[in-house]
A and B are shown apart, each in its own frame.
Chain A
Amino acid sequence: GENVEQHPSTLSVQEGDSAVIKCTYSDSASNYFPWYKQELGKRPQLIIDIRSNVGEKKDQRIAVTLNKTAKHFSLHITETQPEDSAVYFCAASMGGYSTLTFGKGTMLLVSP
């Protein structure tokens, strides 16, 4: 089955810096890669996703890149703010009725 590795497990940055979280996946059939943000005590929320027919997608300060050949994808957050502090999960799926396989999560701490 699919296996998703996520790094780093924790990431501390200063406000205004950029943050990058990287994930690799094992199953070349995966074609959908969402990122979820979970603030303390709240539900995981989808913040951005990318499908296998594109290499990069951007939404304001957040961007995701996908390299299908290398089977890795990354989340980039620019101009970080304290409210970006949360646990971020990457995931991979083959779409259809398949489920999501998650990475272990990255705790991002943004210091003012």
Chain B
Amino acid sequence: EAGVTQFPSHSVIEKGQTVTLRCDPISGHDNLYWYRRVMGKEIKFLLHFVKESKQDESGMPNNRFLAERTGGTYSTLKVQPAELEDSGVYFCASSQDGLAAYGYTFGSGTRLTVV
């Protein structure tokens, strides 16, 4: 089966610009997660979708971040306007069942650099 796909793999933007990251989960996986790793730090949870609904968005840092999952398939994460501290690697993961912490499959991530 195809894995979790993320694109772009890299993005370099200027402070104040907008960037949209996309994640295509494994087909049939209702649970989709966004995580972020800032350089040298832990991978931190951003939010969790179950189908098209936001199950938990407690990790979203502020209102410059907007995540959507229309139709319960792929998801987008928009950062607008981007700030320097938003730089990092954004990971998406998906899982099949409600035991969301079991059997995560991660994508390769999008490396975002804000200059």
Residues of A participating in the B interface, judged by any CB pair closer than 8 Å: 4, 6, 32, 34, 36, 41-46, 89, 91, 93-105
Give the A-B contact count at a CB cut-off of 8 A.
66
Task: Let me know if B101 and A100 touch, CB within 8 A.
Answer: yes
Most A C-beta atoms less than 10 A away, residue of B45, B55, B91, B107: B45
Residues of chain A within 8 A of B55, CB atoms compared: 97
- Residue B43 contacts which of A44, A95, A96, A98 (CB distance < 8 angstroms)? A44
Which of under 10, 10 to 19, 20 to 34, or 35 or more describes the interface residues of B?
20 to 34
The B interface, classified by DSSP as helix, strand, loop or mixed, is loop
Q: Which chain B residue lies CB-closest to A42?
A: B108
Task: Let me know if B44 and A102 touch, CB within 8 A.
Answer: yes
Q: Which 4 pairs between the two chains have the least Cβ-Cβ distance?
A: A93-B101, A102-B43, A43-B108, A104-B42
- Residue B56 contacts which of A93, A95, A97, A104 (CB distance < 8 angstroms)? A97
* Closest Cβ–Cβ distance, residue A45 to chain B (whole Å): 7
* 12 residue pairs from A and B, CB less than 8 Å apart: A34-B104, A43-B3, A44-B43, A45-B106, A89-B43, A96-B101, A98-B100, A99-B100, A101-B42, A102-B43, A103-B42, A104-B42
